[in-house]
Chain A
Amino acid sequence: GAVVSQHPSWVICKSGTSVKIECRSLDFQATTMFWYRQFPKQSLMLMATSNEGSKATYEQGVEKDKFLINHASLTLSTLTVTSAHPEDSSFYICSARDLREGPISSNQPQHFGDGTRLSIL
């Protein structure tokens, strides 16, 4: 089955630090990956859609300069939280769609990573 790997799984850092989170599709190619954010006991909220070879599409209210997304290859997308502050502490999850499962509009599921817990002190 399609496997998505996230790294790191947990990171603790000081306020003002920039943190990079990686999302890799291990056994398939993905032109599109998605980044979600989840606060404790709340639902997942889509932050942005990462497109291979082009700019990411951000959801309303998500700061582009704060959350930098790079999708340089068909198997890797990165999310960088720049100048992180305590309010950025959250659980970040990525997902990806397998190219072989059809176009983006088709009825095929996204495959999710295990998430990254970010704690900013």
Chain B
Amino acid sequence: KQEVTQIPAALSVPEGENLVLNCSFTDSAIYNLQWFRQDPGKGLTSLLLIQSSQREQTSGRLNASLDKSSGRSTLYIAASQPGDSATYLCAVSPRPKAQKLVFGQGTRLTINP
């Protein structure tokens, strides 16, 4: 059974710092891995999707990496801003049932001005 773990559960850093969020999964048989942002009381906003054949994806100040063999992904946020404060979730799309996303518990990020 696929399990996804995110560490740390919460993180608080000063504005301007670069930071890394971690995600690990137990079964390397995945189609892709996705990072989402969730604001309090809101739904999910997709940030980055990495296909299983890819090593990383970049969007603006965000960079996500994937090491499928070791079951790990990181989300790197450069030059953090208060507006980055949110909960970040990673989810894998497992083989063979791609649509059954398996989510981690999330990392609650606070960027202090």
Instruction: List residues of A whose CB falls within 8 A of some B CB.
Output: 4, 6, 32, 34, 41-46, 49, 91, 93, 95, 97, 104-107, 109-115, 117
Contact = CB atoms under 8 A, between A and B. Distances in A.
A43 B52 CA distance: 22
A114 B43 contact: yes
10 contacts: A32-B99, A34-B101, A41-B105, A44-B44, A44-B89, A44-B103, A46-B100, A109-B49, A112-B36, A112-B45
Interface in B31-52: 31-32, 34, 36, 41-46, 49, 51-52
B105 A43 contact: yes
Task: List the 4 closest A-B pairs by CB distance, nearest first.
Answer: A114-B43, A112-B44, A43-B103, A115-B43
A107 B98 contact: yes
B51 A112 contact: no
Contacts of A115: 41-43
Contacts, number: 60
Interface string B48-76: 01011000000000000000000000000
Contacts of A43: 4, 89, 103-106
Given A43-B105, A105-B96, A114-B43, 16 more contacts: A32-B99, A43-B106, A44-B44, A44-B89, A44-B103, A49-B99, A91-B41, A93-B43, A93-B44, A97-B99, A104-B99, A107-B32, A110-B99, A110-B101, A114-B42, A115-B41
B93 interface: yes
B46 A109 contact: yes
A107 B101 contact: no
